[in-house]
Amino acid sequence: MLGRFFAGNWRPPADEIRFAAENGFAAVQVRSDVPGELEAVLRADLAETGRAFAAAGVEPVVEMLLRLDRHPSIAEALRSNLPALAALGCRRVHVHPVPGAADVDVQELEALLPDLFGAAVEVAERHGLDLGVEHNSSEHRLLVAPEACEALLAGVPGLHFVWDLNHAEPAAFAGFRDRLSLVHASDTPLPETNHHLPLGLGTVDFSVISGIEVPAILEIGGLPVSGGYGRDTDDALLASRARLLAS
């Protein structure tokens, strides 16, 4: 499940980890928008939070949302988070790269990604981390087409893939299963994407991930287009988990 560690919807990490453990969630994802500020996101001591994860048997995973016009070096952004990742006991970390400014030339940026991610994979491997990259829905323009993602993965053999079922028709990325480090699961009324609805409120066929051997993170909450934030209630998470397990 996606941890509810956002400005308008924050819960103490100890409470969120306890909820996850008591209800059968194997992992909790923490999102970092600013490299080096994971402790500010969690509002809790990182070492203490890491001990809570370990004691509960819940895996911490981290998403780094990087606006590449502000943070052009993926390797440096990762280095900024290394102390926090170590304190949390995190092994799986992934970068969700977006262009940032509207005037960024996406084709030029995609051509640079193999070098940018190649340098970051070297950092990750030195520190025992599995680094992944998440693809985007169309409004972010970058890494939208399967061909763009395939070219990046071909150019960086050590890079894993994070498949978001809410970002595109699932069939378009079904061939990436052998490179997965995570799946993001939420619903959307396809062909409209990126609504992040609780499962059952859209049209995504979740059976496409049957048999995967990596965590499937319930990344529900609802964007403004789908009725606003606040859909990631305890009840919605539990109902969505049950639907996912039954699919």
- The structure's pTM equals 0.93
Predicted pLDDT of residue 221: 85
Evaluated on CA atoms 148, 153, 159, 162, the torsion sign reads positive
Domain 5-246 class, CATH top level:
alpha beta
In the chain, where are the structural domains located? 5-246
CA 184/CA 127 separation, integer angstroms: 24
Evaluated on CA atoms 114, 41, 22, 232, the torsion sign reads negative
Six-digit token string for 53: 């994860």
Q: What are the pLDDT digits (tens) for 48-60?
A: 999 999 999 999 9
CA distance from start to end of the chain? 17
Top-ranked range on mean pLDDT: pick from 77-86, 105-114, 192-201: 77-86
Q: What are the pLDDT digits (tens) for 120-152?
A: 999 999 999 999 999 999 888 999 999 999 999
Contact 5, 28 (CB under 8 A): no
Mean per-residue pLDDT, 208-237: 85
Predicted pLDDT of residue 223: 67
